[in-house]
Every structure is written in C-alpha cells, then in structure tokens.
Amino acid sequence: MQFLIRSARIIDPQSSFTGQRCDILVENGIILRIGQELTTDEKARVIDWPNVHVSPGWVDLRVSAKDPGYEHKEDLTSVCQAAAAGGFTDIAVLPNTKPVVDSKDTLGYLRRMAEGQPVAVHPIAAVTRRAEGEDLTEMIDLHHAGAVAFSDGEHPLQNPDLLLKTLQYLQPFNGLLMNRPEEAMLTRFGQMHEGVQSTLLGMKGMPALAEELMVERDLRLLEYAYLEKEPPTTTVLHFSTLSSARSVELIRQAKRQRLPVSCDVAAHQLVFDDSAMAGFDTNLKVNPPFRSRADVDALWQGLADGTIDAVVSDHNPHDEECKNVEFDVAEFGITGLETAFAALLTYNQGLSLEQLVDKLAIRPRQILRLSPVSIAEGQAASLTLFDPNQTWTFARSVSKSKNTPFLGQTFTGRVVGVLHQDQHHTTA
C-alpha cells in the first residue's frame, strides 16, 4: 500500500532533508521517494495536514502495559492504541504483569499478542524471578528470546550484590540493565515529596535522598564492574525516571568519567512540582513524587545539556477502585502515553524541536539497541507526524484507565498520526 505525506517539514538530525518541507512517498513500509510535488497512483492514501512535521518514530522506554493479568486496567491492544495516539511507534513494556515476564513463555505471549498492532512492543524482562529481588532469571535465554533490556520495573533493585552480579552477567552479550533508583526503607509509607509542602499537608514525605543514594550506589557498582576493563560505548546501566537535581548532577559527573550510563525523565515530572499536591488529587500521586521547583528546573537543564537522554511517559494505568479512594491508600501512577509530547511542548523551557525529537526518538532507540531509523529513501518507514503549533484539548482518553491529571487541559502541540511499517494510525 502507498502513503503520500504532503509538504511535511522533516525534523531528523540524521537526515539530509532535515529542516526542509518535502513530500514523502511510502510503499509497503519503505520510504520510496522524498521530493517536491510527488505524484502517485489514485489508490494511495494522501496525508495532507496543514503545518505537518514528521520525525523518526518516537520510542517510549517505560510503559506499564498490565497485560497479562491486569487487563481490566489495560491490555496490549488498548496500550498500543494509546501509544499511537501519543505519537509513539515503539514502546518498551515493564515486566510487572501476572505472571511476571521472567520466562520465555510469558515473553512469547507478549510477542504474539503484539503482532498486527500499530506500534512495536519491546518486552523488558525481569532481573529476578517474580521481580521479588532475590533469585536471578535466565537472562541469556530471555535475551535470545527477544528481551530488549532487564529490569524489575516498578520494584527498584535493593540488593547491591545482586545489582553488581547482574551488571557482570550482562557483559558477555552487552545487555542493558534499567533500574529506578529508590531506597525503599527511606520512602516507606511515603505519599509525596518530603519538604515544606508535605509538612503543611500532614503527609509522610519521600525524601529526594532516597533516590540520590541509590544513584550514587549504582554508579559506584557500575564503575567497580568495569575495573581493569574497557567499558562499552553503549549504555549498560540506565536510570529510569530521575526526579532530583542532585541525581542529575551525579549522572552528569558519571558521563564526564565516560561511564556507560544513561537516564530518562517522565514527562509529567517536567510539568508539576510538589505544590500541585495541595488539592489531594490522587491522579497526581506518582513515584517518584513531584519534587521542588528547583528540581524541575534542574531536570529541564539536564535535558538541555544532554545529561538526561530521553523522555518517557511512565504510563501506569489504574482503574477507579485504585484511584478514587483516600489519598494515602491510592495507587501510585498516571497514564501518560497520549500527553507526553503535548506536555513537553506546552511547558517547554527552551528546547528546540530537534532536541525534543532526539529525546523522544533517537536516543531511546540507541539505548535499546534498536535498528536506527532515518528519513531517507530506501529506509523503513517508522514515522511520527505532528503539528507543534496546534492547540487542542485533551477531552477523551483511549486508554482503558483514566487516571490522568490532564483531562480537560488545553495543550500546544498535537500528534497527527503515526506511520509504522505498513500501518497508518491517524489521531487528529
């Protein structure tokens, strides 16, 4: 099948066409031609959207798909629809399902269920059996079965010996470990960021120290794992959802030392600070929690200078029974796939479109070791179409769960659609 994208501004630092307005002709999932006023047969689908921009397909490094086991919250079909609506052509899904993705059988289920979806699903396998932080999984087998990375997902690795052994275990096949840094004993029973706001609201705080200690610990262990060895140029240890200024500075120093490390930030962490918790809205209850305005500013600075490699949705859907309850018993998490880009652009602190595309498409793909995607003739078509200037209101979510603070909000920057392989998903 043919698709013709009319007069699209190409945003792709890897492409010789970047910055230009061109027609793009796609046939059978391959970019056939790029040029001006291209012609095609009458059966082609023409995408002619005013001010359309096109970039390589966006990749989300952290999505909780809930399938298998929690399909009442989300399933692979609905999460892929939400991802496409948000402009993502690829999503990496966490292993915290029921059963946990700690075996080839469960991983195979994900791969089978992902066939024919409008986005590519990349399973992250568990580091430990049942993600309980005790016994290591058969990571080599899981790697060969299609796992793109290893993580206990929503359960940060607490045991330093286990984390070190994992780093050593992954070395022969250049595997990737993803970990959310949190010292669980310091955040036990916590509800929000520890600070003036938590004191005023009378809620148990979660100190930034809990994150910073673990970032420092993991970096020391990474350095130890490569004593007298030449570290690879690809990322070995990836920190998920940083939230504190000190954490950003620790990563910045580690990169100067050329440690094979990368990190990401959740889009909603760039929007809210802990003052937003005054209304006790459970849709704002996330982990890591929203921190101070100074922390938010440091996250933006980390994106600008390249310390933070990627932006993720940290999509974590929950049903009404988990959110429409008292704040202290509500589950952590919001849905973010459909609003990540719009939140980034609406609250942007000076990043160019090229920088945003780098954080959403290029660096995430490199971190996961996925095949590179570029807007060039003969390349596979994995494209995101968007209008950075259009204002729109997020009135309806296609996710099964509605635990988002953004419903009803007006944004600047709208996703028009995605074109992945030979499938086109229109959102506007």
CA 213 from centre of chain: 23
422 is catalytic: no
Cα dihedral 128, 149, 87, 411 sign: positive
**Pick from 237, 255, 110, 96: nearest CA to 175:** 237
Question: Euclidean distance between the first and final Cα of the chain, in Å?
Answer: 21
Q: Locate 314 and state its tokens.
A: 């940290």
Token pair 């600008």 is found at: 304
CA 423 from centre of chain: 22
Cβ atoms within 10 Å, residue 370 = 17
Cβ atoms within 10 Å, residue 109 = 18
| Catalytic-role residue among 314, 358, 387, 422 | 314
Token pair 């909780």 is found at: 64
**Pick from 361, 378, 381, 379: nearest CA to 370:** 361
Active site residues: 314
